[in-house]
Structure 1
């Protein structure tokens, strides 16, 4: 049974932390590239809705495990005039047919899933041939000193932040899952403690 924090505190913390100005700027550089039949994995909160171009989207589907965040996402879709199929579920076992989507979007999502490799395999499965995974994620820093602090902080941070990991790979994880990765940006976010601030964003396509 979910605790009060999981049901009420955590969704609000996530929405607040993930909608800061510098993060919204990065979202604006990734999300508008979505085309065709779009799946947003970890859509809860509806933070990305304002960046989609409705005229470029044939259909929009959202998946998130949090009922509270899903309600926010549905409200955001309605405000933006986007017809959306937004449902509860986990990325490790998506309730969609093979080759269903042209674009899969993940933003600050892979840090908190239970099994990152399984989610990436599912993203590959539901993408059409030639489809694109657009990503904006935070994760393991390239600098050894920062990475050491990430390892120290992560056990406590996971309990506070809804299983949010600080040390997971980002672009390299997509590559290991069989994607050809185009990293469009990789840097520490300004005004953010470095253990929490390393982000990478870009596009990934099924290799071959």
Structure 2
């Protein structure tokens, strides 16, 4: 996520997909944001799908979206949000380098799969949080067995090219712990029947915390 992204095909595709999300995914989005408060950094905001679900206890959302076409849509969604939302095409690296005021929470929804070096970005997100701050994540992750094999095939062929560099077989929760977060609550959810042969049917939703002793 080091540069502004120009991906018109994916921007059109994601616009359609984000307006046709299932009730199961929207329910998970709402749950992922429940109970947040203070100043929040959202990474990879897309079209601003999350904005309507932020609780009133959030004082400010800084939403980062490097794809300019998606950022324009997110800016329009921000106008109708219940909480103040600022959409930026700056990157996580920019905030880390600028010494931004620490955030109370970071939100990642369906974005860590598309970052080339997610381990580095997660460490940067840790540095942007105040001690005790939370990472809320909702991500599709690596599965076992036959679906895991399907994911590896998808990742090695057309899936990343079609879906904005999305990689379906990532051990995201291991990366979160490896970056220095402490996972306090996490589970897996299926958003489609298990028999549906899609590599992105299983999601991880969780809450991780920056240890108080980490500056």
Say whether the fold is shared (TM-score over 0.5): yes
Whose helix fraction is larger, Structure 1's or Structure 2's? 1
Query: Within 2, Cα distance between the matches of 1:116 and 1:125?
Result: 14
CA contact (8 A) 2:6 2:68 kept: no
Structure 2 residue aligned with 1:103: 105
Structure 2 residue aligned with 1:186: 188
Q: Which runs of 5+ in 2 are unaligned?
A: none
**In the superposition, relative to structure 1, how do residues 67 and 4 fare at CA in structure 2: closer, same or farther (>3 Å)?**
closer
Aligned structure 1 segments of 4 or more residues deviating by more than 3 angstroms: 1-4, 191-194
Shift of 1:182: 2.5
Query: Within 2, Cα distance between the matches of 1:73 and 1:146?
Result: 33
Shift of 1:154: 1.3
Q: Deviations over 1:59-97 (max 9, x none)?
A: 211101111111221211211243222110334x14252
CA contact (8 A) 1:124 1:206 kept: yes
Aligned pairs (5 A) from 1:21-170: 21-54=23-56, 56-91=57-92, 93-96=93-96, 97=99, 100-141=102-143, 143-155=144-156, 156-170=158-172
Query: Within 1, Cα distance between the matches of 2:26 and 2:160?
Result: 23
Q: Which runs of 5+ in 1 are unaligned?
A: none
**Count of residue correspondences:** 203
TM-score (norm: length of structure 2): 0.85
